[in-house]
Amino acid sequence: MIATIKHRTKNYPIDLSKPLDISIAIKGGAQNVSAWYLQPPKIEAHEEAGFVGKVSEGASINFNDISFNPHAHGTHTECVGHITEEFYSVNKNLKQYFFLSEVVTVAPEMVNDDFVISKKQLKYALGNKKREALVIRTLPNMKQKKSRQYSHSNPPYLTQEAAEFLVEKGVEHLLVDLPSVDKEKDNGALVSHKAFWDFGGKLRKRATITEFIYVANSIEDGTYILNLQVAPFENDASPSRPVLYKVIQNKPIQK
């Protein structure tokens, strides 16, 4: 099914029958992707007063309790409320769900014993393109990202200058296949989060950061329409399901 998404003055045709899901699902157990030193998520049958919510145990329904942390256990989208004293809900601040986006692949470079994504790399990858959303796939890109245990591993992150560059470019929605846009152990500095949300200026309340995505190697770099689906939690972050739709190249793409 062909649909047309209008962005500003341009129309972008997409095929709704060909979604590209770049989320990592949450599942119970140690094989779930994890970060921030937490125990694995739990998805277990509810038990109470002799009742076990499991059909195989004699119940008429399956009735599970789920325990997880959105920041640590899968694809999630967060708003500025992640770093502010005042409460902001991603469910209240994310008002639109379709965005013109660009998928880029970056090999983080070594700087002072850390692997980082730099302003120079993003400037080269984006060129003169203006995009509402940027999807960053890092190399190497292996399926193990979907179950990797990131705690104490010092994974790659964005430099402050890279985050500031994205703000200058007008990117409002940043998606990365990493547990954080900041260094794992930075004593709470969170310089890239703060730069992206303009923490010291006028807060970018509509802007979001989505972490723990997985962009399969079969998805080419290029222009897409992003459908950013967020579970309606009143929280600074929520589990999310970003879905890409390749723009059909029969019309000129906005530069």
Q: What backbone phi and psi angles, to 5 degrees, belong to 82? A: -65, -25
Compute CA distances 19 → 36, 122, 224, 244, whole Å.
Answer: 31, 26, 11, 6
Residue type, 164: E
Total-model pTM: 0.95
Can you give the pLDDT at residue 252? Answer: 47
Give the contacts of 152 (CB within 8 A, at least 6 positions apart). 37, 184
pLDDT of 4 > 90? The answer is: no
DSSP secondary structure letters along 85-142: SS---HHHH----EEEEEEEEE--EEETTEEEE-HHHHHHHHTT---SEEEEEESS--
Give 1's pLDDT tier (boundaries 50, 70, 90): confident
Mean pLDDT of 201-219: 98
Q: Give the SS3 label for residue 56.
A: helix
* Rounded-to-10 torsion of CA 41, 42, 43, 48: -150
Can you give the pLDDT at residue 117? Answer: 98
Tens of pLDDT, residue by residue over 48-105, are: 999 999 999 999 999 999 999 999 999 999 999 999 999 999 999 999 999 999 999 9
179 neighbors 35 (Cβ within 8 angstroms): yes
Can you give the pLDDT at residue 6? Answer: 78
Q: Judge: domain 2-33+70-246, CATH 3.50.30.50.
A: yes
Q: What backbone phi and psi angles, to 5 degrees, belong to 28? A: -75, 140
Domain ranges of the chain: 2-33+70-246
How many C-alpha atoms does 147 have within 13 Å on its Cβ side?
7
